[in-house]
Chain A
C-alpha cells in the first residue's frame, strides 16, 4: 500500500518537460467558465478516408501495427483473425468494414496504428489509418446522431461531434462519435 503511494507520489512529483509544462500551464490558465460543462475524452482517428471520434472509454491502447493471422473458416470482412499486441493475443477486426467505409489506399504504413478496444475478455484490435489526437470536449459540443440512417457507420454512431478549426488535422467539421456499446456489439455479431 505504502509502496503504491510512493509510486504515485513519484509520478505526480516528476519533473515535466517543456512541452508538458506548456500544456499544463495552458490548462491551468484557461478561464474558469470553460470548465463549467461536463467533458468527455475522445480519440480522433482517420479510417476508411473519414475522420471518426471514438469514446476514450472504448480505447485501451494505441500500438504499432502488428501482423494479423487469419482464422480458417472464420475470418471474414470484419473478423480479420488473431493478432499479438505486446504478448497479448487477441482478435483483430476491420473497423472500416464494420462501418462499411471505403478502404483507404493512400494511408501510409508509417501512420497506421492498431487500437485495442474494449476490456477484459472482450478486447478487439482494430487498425486505423492515422491517429489525429485526443480531445477533451464539452458535452455541449455533441449533437444528436443523424435521424435518417444512411450508412452502416450511422448504426454505430451515438452523437455527432463538431470539430473546431485547428483542433486536429483536417480542419473544422462534423464527425461521428462512435458508440462504445454498438461497436462492440457489431464486432461480436461477426464472430459466428
Chain B
C-alpha cells in the first residue's frame, strides 16, 4: 500500500472514519429528535458517501457495503420516500459504530475484523435495505427499494483502481453514468462529490489543532447556549495533525522571536542618536565656518565636507525610516505569530464532547429512561491538554448522572416532574478560569445517606459523623470505593471513579465541587485553568525584581495613600468598599530584602477570598501580560509561595506567585494564626514537649486528631492541606507529622514525597491517616515514605495512639 507523506492509506481512512463518524453520530441524534428537518440529512449523506469511497480505496468491502446501504437509506429519507423512525436511527447508528470501530483498529487486524463482523454486517445491510416499520410514506416504496441500488458515482480522482467486489445487491463498480438522464429512484439529487471525497489530497486531515482560534485565550468571550449540533460543523473545519512537542517548541521559538524583535528597539534608538549627532556636527561646522578666515572659507574644502556630511545625514535619515518600518513590521509579525501559536493550543470545547450525546442516548435507552442532553458552550476555547484530560472525567460524571441521578419516567411523573430528564454539560470562562459543570435534574444526592454509610463503613464514629457538614459529607463521594448506590451497576457506581475525577482536577490545579438539592438534581462543577501553558497576569516589582500574579486569583489592584492606612490592634489596614483589608508587605512574606522605601501612595495587590481580603504591598505595578508558563527548576522542589517561572518580553526571568499559598501565609502572619503565629517554644521553662504537625483538610477530623494528641501531652499544630503543611514544616522543630491523603492544593502523598525529598525532614516520622483502606492506597502511602498508614477508624481503638508512641515515644522526654 502506497504511502502519502508518511501516512498510509489506512491511516487516512482512520482519519475519515473519525471525522465522518462524529458527523453521523451527531446528525442522526439530531434527526431522531426532529425527523422533519430534512436539511440535516444532506451532510449525513455526504459523510456516508465519503466513507464508502474511502473504504473502497483501502479495499475493505465490508465497510463499503455498510456505508453504501447507509447512504441509500439516507437518500431515501431526503427524498421523502422514507420517514426516519427510531428503529432506523438505531440501524444507522449501528452502521456508524461499525465504521468508527473499523477506524480504530490497526491495519494488521483487518482480516480478523472482516471475518468477525461478516455476518453482523450481512444482517445490518439486509435490515437497512428493508423498510423499517412505519417508515415508508406508502407501501409502494418497498418494491422500489428492492431494485438494485443506483450506480454510485466513482470519484474521478480515485488514486487506485478500486478492487471492490460487487456484493449482494450492490451494483457493479463501473464508472457508471453520472449523467442524470435516467436517474434511478434514489440517486442523490446533487451528485457533487463532497469536498473530502475519497483519496483526499491532505494526508493530515484529522483532529487535533484548529487553525485559527481566539488569539488570546483568557480574553476570549464565553458564548453560551451553543447546542449539540455544533459538533458537526466543527468537524468540518479543516484541521491538521501536529505533533504536540513540535507545537511546544514552536511556541517557545515564537516567544523568543518576539523578544528578539523587541531588541531592535535599542538599535533604533542608537540610529536616532547617530542622526542627532550628525545634525550637531553640521551645526558646529556652520558656526565654525562663520568665524573662519576668508581664505579657509573660500578654499571650498570645508564646503565639500559640509556637503558630504549633509548628504550622509540624509541617507541615514532614509535608511532610518526604512529600518523603522522594518522593525515595526517584524515586531508586529512576531507578535502575531506568537499569539497564533498560543492560540493553536486551543480547541473548541465541542471537540472533546462529540461522543457524549450518543453515549447518553444509548445509556438512557438501555435503562429505559428519557433524557434530553444539552451541551452548552461548545465553542468555548479550551487548551488541548486540558480537553484531553477532561474526556474521561466527563464521561464518568455523565454516566453517573444518567445511571443514578435520573429517575425512571414514571417516578419523575409521580414527583410532578417532566418525565424527560435534563442532563447537561456546560463550559464557560469565568474570571480567567474554565468552568465545566455536569449536572442533571434528577433525584439528587442525600447527604444523610452518606452520613449513614460513613458510620456503616466504620470510617467515623457516630458522634463525629453527626458533626460533619453537608459539604464534608459530599467529599466522601470522592473516596475510592465509596458508593452510595444501592447496587453497583456495570454502568457506574456513584462514587466509584469519582476519585479519578478529583485527581485529574487537582493535577491541573483546579477544584471540584458537588452541589445537590435532594429531589431537584445534582451537579459537579470543575474549575480549571483555561490553559496550562499561558496565563494572564499582573506584573509587579517586589524587592526590585519582577513577579507575576495570575489575574484569576487577583481581586483588585489599588493605590492606597498612606493617610488612608490606620493601625488596628497593631495591624495596618485600609478600607476598600466598606471592607477592612489587612496590609502586609509582599517583601516580608517572601523573605526578601533590597526593596525600596515605601512610596505614597502604596501599590497594593488585593487577594483573598470568602469575604476576607488582604493587601500585599509591592514596589510598583509593571502592567499586565500573557505569560508562557515554565515549570520551576525541578531541583528546587516545591518553593513556598511560588508556582512557576516565565520570561519577560526583554528576556528577563520572573516568578509567578502561588496566590492561594501566599494568602494562607498572610492569613497566619496577620495573627489569625493561633496555629503557628502564637508559637511559644520552650516558654514554660521546663522540659520541652514533643511537637506534632497535623495536616488535614476536614476540620472535624483535624479536631479529633488534635484533641487526641493534646490529651497524650504533645504540642500540636495544624495545617489545612499539603501546601500549608509544607510551609509549616519550614519553621522546623517537629517530631512527628500526621497527614491525610485527600486534600486540596497538595495531597498527602505528594506532601510526604516532598518532605522525604528534603534533607531537613528526611528523618521525621510520618503517619498517614486516611479513609482509603485498599492495599494499593496503603502501598502508595508507604512508597511515598510514610512510616505508618492508618485508617480513620483507628481513632476509635488505641492503634493511632499506640503508633504515635511507637514512633516518637512519650510527649515529655526531650530535654
Contact = CB atoms under 8 A, between A and B. Distances in A.
A75 to B, nearest CB: 8
A24 to B, nearest CB: 34
Nearest to B542: A72
Contacts of A97: none
B735 to A, nearest CB: 20
A91 B637 CA distance: 13
B655 A69 contact: yes
A84 B647 CA distance: 8
A72 B590 contact: yes
B647 A191 contact: no
A83 to B, nearest CB: 6
A84 to B, nearest CB: 5
Nearest to A71: B639
B591 A69 contact: no
A192 B759 contact: yes
Contact of A73 (B252, B652, B653, B730): B730
B641 interface: yes
Most B-side CB within 10 Å, residue of A70, A72, A87: A72
A70 B651 contact: no
A72 B653 contact: no
Contacts of B226: none
Interface stretch (B313-321, B348-356, B628-636, B717-725): B628-636
A122 B760 CA distance: 21
A87 B653 contact: no
B653 A83 contact: yes
Interface string B530-555: 00000000000001011000000000
Contacts of A71: 632, 636, 639, 642, 655
A171 interface: no
A74 B652 contact: no
B251 to A, nearest CB: 12
Contact of B633 (A66, A67, A89, A188): A89
Given A72-B590, A72-B591, A73-B730, A91 B653 contact: no
B390 to A, nearest CB: 29
A89 B628 CA distance: 13
A35 B636 CA distance: 45
Given A69-B546, A89-B647, A74 B639 contact: yes
A89 B252 CA distance: 12
Interface in A56-90: 66-74, 82-84, 87, 89-90
A91 B640 contact: no
A121 interface: yes
B645 interface: yes
Interface string A28-54: 000000000000000000000000000
A67 B653 CA distance: 8
Contact of B653 (A69, A122, A191): A69
Contacts of B641: 72-73
A72 B640 contact: yes
B634 A84 contact: no
A71 B653 CA distance: 11
A91 B653 CA distance: 11
Given A84-B651, A87-B252, A192-B758, A70 B635 contact: no
Interface in B198-220: none
Given A67-B653, A84-B653, A90-B633, A72 B639 contact: yes
Contacts of A91: 633, 635-636
A121 B634 contact: yes
A73 B591 CA distance: 6
Interface in B628-677: 630, 632-637, 639-642, 645, 647, 651-655
Interface residues of B, number: 30
Contacts of B634: 121
Contact of A121 (B630, B635, B645): B635
B636 A72 contact: no
Given A67-B652, A91-B635, A121-B635, A72 B592 contact: yes
Nearest to B544: A70
Contact of A82 (B590, B633, B759): B633
B777 interface: no
Contacts of B655: 69, 71-72, 82
B256 interface: yes
A83 B630 CA distance: 13
Contacts of B637: 191
Given A84-B652, A89-B653, A192 B730 contact: no
B658 to A, nearest CB: 11
Interface string B747-763: 00000000000111000
B652 A69 contact: yes
A90 B591 CA distance: 22
Nearest to B546: A69
Contact of B635 (A66, A68, A89, A191): A191
Interface string A85-124: 0010111000000000000000000000000000001100
A69 B654 CA distance: 7
B653 A82 contact: yes
A68 B633 CA distance: 14
A66 B650 CA distance: 11
A118 B562 CA distance: 49
B350 to A, nearest CB: 35
Contacts of B653: 67-69, 82-84, 89
Contacts of B647: 84, 87, 89
Contacts of B632: 71, 82
Given A82-B653, A84-B651, A69 B545 contact: yes
A107 to B, nearest CB: 21
Contacts of B654: 69
B592 A191 contact: no
Given A84-B651, A89-B633, A70 B592 contact: yes
Nearest to B593: A70
Nearest to B640: A73
Contacts of A191: 635-637
Interface string A162-174: 0000000000000
Interface in B567-599: 590-592
B760 A192 contact: yes
A67 B647 CA distance: 11
A70 B541 CA distance: 12
Given A82-B653, A89-B630, A89-B653, A74 B546 contact: no
Most A-side CB within 10 Å, residue of B545, B546, B636, B637: B636
Nearest to A191: B635
A74 B641 CA distance: 11
A69 B633 CA distance: 13
A107 B652 CA distance: 23
A83 B641 CA distance: 19
B639 A82 contact: no
Most B-side CB within 10 Å, residue of A68, A74, A122: A74
Contacts of B630: 89
Contacts of A122: 635
Contacts of A82: 632-633, 645, 653, 655
Given A87-B256, A89-B645, A73 B590 contact: yes
A73 B590 CA distance: 7
Contact of A74 (B636, B645, B651): B636
22 contacts: A69-B653, A70-B543, A71-B632, A71-B636, A72-B591, A72-B592, A72-B639, A73-B640, A82-B633, A82-B653, A84-B651, A84-B653, A87-B256, A89-B630, A89-B645, A89-B647, A90-B633, A91-B635, A91-B636, A122-B635, A192-B758, A192-B760
Given A87-B256, A192-B759, 10 more contacts: A68-B653, A69-B546, A72-B639, A72-B642, A73-B639, A73-B640, A82-B632, A82-B633, A89-B647, A89-B653
Interface of B: 252, 256, 543, 545-546, 590-592, 630, 632-637, 639-642, 645, 647, 651-655, 730, 758-760
Interface of A: 66-74, 82-84, 87, 89-91, 121-122, 188, 191-192
4 closest A-B pairs by beta carbon, nearest first, are A72-B590, A69-B653, A84-B653, A82-B653
